[in-house]
Chains A and B, each alone.
Chain A
Amino acid sequence: MKALLVFGLDIAMEMLSGVIALLVGFYAGRGYRLTGEKLFLYLNISFLLMGVGLAVDGIASVYGALMMKKGASPYAVLAAGELFMYAAEIAAFIVLAALYTRWKPEILPAALALGWYNPGLELLLVGLSLYVTLQAVSRVKIGESRFVVAGFSLLAVSHLSFMASSLFIPAYLLGHAAQLAGFALFLAVVLEARRSR
């Protein structure tokens, strides 16, 4: 029962994080259509990738739970969902890193082609999210982008927590909470920008 509750909470937080990431991504897409600025296209692609990755993993988890209920093994579905999420998140952070360093994101297909599960992917995500966080910190002006820095920091913390969860199980939920809080901060950025002055 307790395991089911944790599983349910995990799925709910993941889906909610995905929806928020999609909202931020769509908003950035609107910015690209209005201004034609590439920076919004990069944000649009990266947040949509994160949102789709989280949503697909969430859906796979729900489907896996239903399979378990019927007595079937859910591992293939769960692993496929997780693999998709990792590939999408790695690609998203590569696009963000490209945005902050002005690389051209030609390496994106290579990131998407990562077609196998490896615990090292989490470590790669920690590295990429820390890199993006540091780049965001270097651009902070007082009173600006504090939500963005906090958001990226929380995403980095969430990936660290997911890594630590193999040693300490509650870290898994902490990871999801940090991820959700991180995306909530990005939503706060959108709401703050939309506030009329």
Chain B
Amino acid sequence: MSRKPRSAIKIYVDILKVVRGADGRARPTKILYGANLSYERMQRYLAELVKKELLREEQEEGVTYYVLTEKGYRFLMEYERFERFARAFGFSL
């Protein structure tokens, strides 16, 4: 059975959920596997999320981390509220 491709917003949410699940700070490898993306697509989406100030890039001892910002937390919370609202009507996002 073919599955509907994920929308850009769903991919943003999946990435943000992976980062939140890692205590709000995750390395690119974790995001790559957690959000099930190719490296190129992940880079593109991460750049977008940083531009939208939902994630912040940090360097520590030469390693890159992505940190969930306050705006990112609030966005995820709001999205999850609408996920619950949609579920109440029998739909999933």
Residues on A lying within 8 angstroms of B by beta carbon are 27-28, 30-31, 34-37, 39-40, 43, 100, 135-136, 138-141, 144-145, 147-148, 189-190, 192-194, 196-197
Q: Which one, B7, B86, B87, B90, contacts A31 given CB within 8 A?
A: B86
Interface of B is mostly: helix
A193 and B89 within 8 A (CB) = no
A35 and B9 within 8 A (CB) = yes
Query: By CB atoms of chain A within 10 A, which of B81, B89, B93 has the most?
Result: B89
Inter-chain pairs besides A43-B89, A193-B84, A193-B85, 11 sampled, C-beta below 8 Å: A27-B85, A31-B86, A34-B78, A35-B9, A37-B86, A40-B82, A135-B90, A139-B91, A140-B90, A192-B88, A193-B82
Number of interchain pairs (Cβ within 8 Å): 61
Give A194 to B80 CA distance when docked, in angstroms.
9
B91 and A193 within 8 A (CB) = no
Residue numbers in A under 8 Å from B84 (CB-CB): 192-193
B89 and A136 within 8 A (CB) = yes
B79 and A34 within 8 A (CB) = yes
Give A31 to B87 CA distance when docked, in angstroms.
13
B88 and A147 within 8 A (CB) = yes
A194 and B91 within 8 A (CB) = no
A31 and B88 within 8 A (CB) = no
Give A30 to B90 CA distance when docked, in angstroms.
19
Residues on B lying within 8 angstroms of A by beta carbon are 7, 9, 77-82, 84-91, 93
B67–chain A nearest beta-carbon distance, Å: 22
Give A27 to B80 CA distance when docked, in angstroms.
14
Give A30 to B85 CA distance when docked, in angstroms.
12
B81 and A194 within 8 A (CB) = yes
Give A16 to B86 CA distance when docked, in angstroms.
24
Give A31 to B77 CA distance when docked, in angstroms.
12
Give A145 to B7 CA distance when docked, in angstroms.
24
A144 and B93 within 8 A (CB) = no
Query: By CB atoms of chain A within 10 A, which of B77, B78, B88 has the most?
Result: B88
B53–chain A nearest beta-carbon distance, Å: 16
A145 and B93 within 8 A (CB) = no
